[in-house]
Structure 1
Amino acid sequence: MTLAYAADRHPATPAIADVMTRLGLKMNFAKDEEIFCQDEEADLIYLVVSGAVRTTRLLSDGRRQVGAFYYPGDLVGLETGALHRFSAEALSDAALLVVKRSSLQAFAGDGEIDRAIWEATRRELERAQEHLLVLGRKTACEKVASFLMDLAERDSQAEAIALPMGRQDMADYLGLTIETVSRMLTQLQGASVVEFDGCRRFRVKRWDALERLAE
C-alpha cells in the first residue's frame, strides 16, 4: 500500500506526511526489529510508509500483550506522557518516517497540523476503546471474526487480503491462546465465511456472516 493510498483513507494524514517528509528521516526496519521499547523516552514520532508495525508490552510475569497494529499512513509513538507505554516492532520489512516531537510541535500554530495531530490522537483513542470491547465482551469466535473484519475493511477492494501478522500475534492481541485462534480460523473457513490461501492471505466469502459475528 502506498502512502498516497493511506492518505485517502485518513484525510488528516497529508498534513502530517508533508511535515514529516520535509523534517523527518526515513528509516528501514527488518522483520521483528525493534523500533522503540517500552518505558523509553517518547521523543520521536513515526509515520508508517510501508510494511506493518505492532506494539507490545511485556507483563511482569513474562506474558506479552499486543496493543495494536499499524499500517501505511498510521502514526506510531503518539503518547500523552513522556515515556512509551508499549514497545514497537516491525511485523515485516518496513519503512517509517521519523521526526522529533519537538520539531512537529514547532508547527503547532498551523491549524491544519493541529487538526491532523488531533485526528491521529482521536483514532488512537477509538482504537483502544474498540480493543477493550473485543477483549472484554466478545466470544473467541467473535474476537477472531472482528479481527478479520477490520483487516478486510482496510483493503476491501483486494481479491485476497494480506494477513501480515502470525497466529501468535493475533492470540496476544485478542487475549486468546494460539490453539484457540487456529481453531476459530478453521471453524470460520469450514463454515465458508472466509477462505485462506496459505497462512498469510484470506478472502471473505460471506460478508454478511462475518459482519454478524463481528458486531
Structure 2
Amino acid sequence: MSQLTSISPADSALTGHDWAGAVRLTFRQGEEIYAQDEGADLIYQVVRGSVRTTHLQADGRRQVGDFYYEGDIIGVEVGETHRFSAEALTGCEVLALRRAGSAAYETGRVERMIWAATANELQRAQSHMLLLGRATACERVARFLMDVANRFRGEFVTLPMSRQDMADYLGLTIETISRMLGRLQADGVIEFSGSRKYRIRRPACLSEMAAA
C-alpha cells in the first residue's frame, strides 16, 4: 500500500510552485498508482523512479501505453476516468494534486499545466505511432533503446521495464525482442551488463537503424 505524506519545501523547490499543496505518495515496485476506469480527479508528477501505463483490452490482452520517468506528469485525461492504469516499475515517489479545488487551480496554474501535459501526451502518442509504423523489428528496438538512453545520463543505462513490457509497447513478441537485442549485441552495437543494463558502443550505427 502506498505511503502518503505532505509535500515538503524541498519538494516544492524541486517541482515548482504549481505543485504547492500536493501530497507525496510512495509506491513499491509493481504497486498500482491508479486504475483503469478510475476517476481522473488527480494528476501526478513522478519525483523518483519509473512508471508504466497499461490498458487491459476486453479479450484480456494488455497494451503498454508508455513509460514515464522523473519529472514526467501522468494521469492527465480528456474525460472523467483513466483509460490506462499506472503501475510503479520501480520503487517510486509521485506528487498528487487535485485538478479542481486547490489553490493552484483557483489561480489557473493547474489548467495551464494540464494543457502543457496534454500537448506532451499528444507528442508521445504521435512518436509511438511512428515507432509502431517502422518496417522492421530491429528498427523499433533500436529507436526504443535510443529514446531510453536519451532520458538517462551515464555510460550504462538501466532498463526499468521487462522484456515483456518492451514487447507489449513495441507490438512485438518477447522472443523477437530477445532476438533483436541479441543481434545488436553480437554486432557490437550495444553491450549488456546483466539483463537490464546496457551501453551503446556504436551510437552512429544505432542512430542510423533508429532513423531508417
* Normalised TM-score (structure 2): 0.88
Shift in Å, 1:46 = 0.6
Letter in 2 for 1:146: R
Cα distance in structure 1, aligned partners of 2:35 and 2:85 = 4
**Matched residue SS, 1:137:** coil
- 2:134·2:140 contact (CA, 8 Å) conserved in 1? no
Map 1:89-168 onto structure 2 (within 5 A).
Answer: 89-102=87-100, 103=102, 104-108=104-108, 110=109, 115-155=112-152, 157-168=153-164
**What are the Cα deviations for residues 140-183 of structure 1, in whole angstroms up to 9, with x where unaligned?**
1111111100011112x411111111101101111111110000
Unaligned stretches of 5+ residues in structure 2: 1-12
Task: Name the aligned partner's letter for residue 145 of structure 1.
Answer: A
User: CA–CA distance in 2 between the matches of 1:54 and 1:82?
Assistant: 20
Q: 1:86 to 1:60 in 2, by over 3 A?
A: same
Larger deviation: 135-144 or 190-199? Answer: 135-144
Identity over aligned residues, as a percent? 54
Distance change >3 Å, CA 15–CA 205, structure 1 → 2: closer
Name the residue aligned to 1:183. Answer: 179
Do the aligned partners of 1:17 and 1:47 also contact (CA within 8 Å) in 2?
no
Shift of 1:117: 3.4
In structure 2, the partner of 1:31 is 29
Per the alignment, in what secondary structure is the counterpart of residue 194 of structure 2?
coil
Letter in 1 for 2:17: D
State the match for 2:49 in structure 1: 51
Q: Secondary structure at the match of 2:46?
A: strand
- Cα offset for 1:114? 5.4
CA RMSD of aligned residues (A): 1.7
When residues 200 and 15 of structure 1 are mapped into structure 2, their CA distance, relative to the original with a 3 A threshold, is closer
Structure whose residues are more often helix by fraction: 1
Contact residue 76 and residue 114 of structure 2 kept, 8 A: no
Name the count of aligned residue pairs.
197
Unaligned runs of 5+ in 1: 1-13
Match of 1:11 in 2: none
The Cα shift of 1:19 comes to 2.4
What whole-Å deviation, never above 9, does each CA across 1:23-81 have from its counterpart, x for those lacking one?
A: 11100111111111111110010100000000000111111000000000000001111
- The letter of the residue matching 1:100 is R
Shift of 1:139: 1.3
